[in-house]
A = this chain, B = another copy of it.
Amino acid sequence: MPRQLVLNAFIHDVGHHEVAWRLPETRTDVQRDVTYFQDIARTAERGKLDSVFFADSPSTFGSTVARRPSEILEPALLLSAMAVVTERIGLIATSSTTYEEPYNLARTFASLDAISKGRAGWNVVTSADLTAGANFGYTEPLGHAERYARAEEFLEVVLGLWGGWEDGHRIADKANGVFHDPAKVHALDHVGEHFRVKGPLNVGRSEQGHPVVVQAGSSVPGIALAAKYAEAVFTAQPTLEEGQAFYAELKAATRKAGRNPDHVKILPGLVPIVGSTVEEARAIEKSLDDLVVLERPLAALAEQIGVPADQIDLDAPLPTDIRPASEIEGNRTRYELIVALARREDLTVRQLLLRLGGGRGHRTYVGTPEQVADTIQEWFTSGAADGFNIMPAIYPSGLETFVDHVVPVLQDRGLFRRDYAGTTLRDHYGLPVPAPLGAASGAGVGASSGGAAATTERTA
């Protein structure tokens, strides 16, 4: 079989376009409705997509509560409810290494992996956003380097916990009263700069070993982290050329880190706005852009570039004398992207803001199903992508259109599966099942009894 596309449905409330909620047909009561999300999972599975994928932030998402739906249920709980009404679709959630305890996070995702029989993925992010940070005691953002140092240690702990259970640990010998083989369950005994975690995790490995590790930072330390750990990378790439450069760089870095570059799937975001004709697609785009109020995004941009809003002309190009990216402590990659986009396409500030509102910095493509398939195929076959995170501007209709009209074109071209070949997310992505780390770490953990005699049995 020829190389196959990876296609995730990236979920965002009622659509990735920030004013999707204001369209006449959009429901305004979906945020708390688990059946809305279950239906999205069913639609994605009908389209044989690889996964559904939640962004997340433990905050009102950097939005004002006035301007946007701001209730965001905990994604792992939603995915658990979505897992039990589907059989194949992968289930990925974003969770930050900045605001969690690694034991809790490892357990949550291992539990989702158990509930779904091997369909879970964790999108690893670090967070500088103070809207969220202020909910966790931060009064200033962690620096870029510190965030990534913490993230790397966090990942080591999570992978160590996930790897602590060797196959065959469950003996369930009723006659002799032995349930797990203690020589096959391993403590971690991690003592590091940020964390001290003994283990073992209280959840073992799944049908796919452990959850797929997804990563979403494209800065220099982000690429270094991805090369070392990521099995899929979600990235914003505005042009084919930039996509190719990033693809080559990350695959090379992965090879250099001693890993098989085929085992990291590079997935740019793509916001498809699809109509049966180009005109129909453009009309959908216009119906969205007409609803955008620029005042607030302008204020945000002004703050980012360090120029007062009242000195910015909406119908002129971005000012030239702006804050350098090196002074950005938050999402530096995104800032560079925004500035590069404006310069490259010679956009007015108004055009830039509309573009950002539509896809949050990701590439928007407006056209017919065939044209959307064409651009996907072009990127896929010219070394810019292993697939895409599909980001419908409007949910659920945009996903339904993609599944019903774009996917069949990709299938007809032999680029995408007509049915699932396996059952796990690793099966869909074509990733190997990682070996447990337990055997490598040496000692099995025997006993650790609560508040009482802690005689630790250690058997090699």
Determine which of B24, B71, B134, B331 lies in contact with A451 in the assembled complex, contact meaning CB atoms within 8 Å: B331
Q: Is the CB of A62 within 8 A of B448?
A: yes
Q: Is the CB of A137 within 8 A of B200?
A: no
In Å, the complex CA distance between A431 and B185 comes to: 44
Contacting residues, chain B, for A454 (C-beta < 8 A) = 130-131, 303
Contacting residues, chain B, for A69 (C-beta < 8 A) = 179-180
Q: Is the CB of B58 within 8 A of A107?
A: yes
Q: Is the CB of B139 within 8 A of A38?
A: no
Which of A169, A203, A445 counts the most chain B CB atoms within 10 A?
Answer: A203
Residue of B nearest to A204 (CB): B71
Contacting residues, chain B, for A114 (C-beta < 8 A) = 32, 34, 71, 73
Q: Is the CB of B199 within 8 A of A62?
A: no
Q: Sort chain A's interface into a size bin.
A: 35 or more
Q: Is the CB of B99 within 8 A of A104?
A: yes
In Å, the complex CA distance between A302 and B452 comes to: 8
Q: Is the CB of B300 within 8 A of A453?
A: yes
Q: Chain A 76-89, CB within 8 Å of chain B: the 1/0 string?
A: 11101101110000
Tell me whether A304 is interfacial, beta carbon within 8 Å: yes
Additional 14 contacts, C-beta under 8 A, given A69-B179, A70-B185 = A28-B179, A34-B114, A59-B450, A64-B447, A64-B448, A67-B179, A71-B203, A71-B204, A72-B203, A103-B135, A128-B451, A296-B449, A299-B452, A303-B452
Name the 6 nearest CB pairs between A and B, nearest first: A62-B450, A300-B452, A303-B453, A134-B198, A28-B172, A330-B451
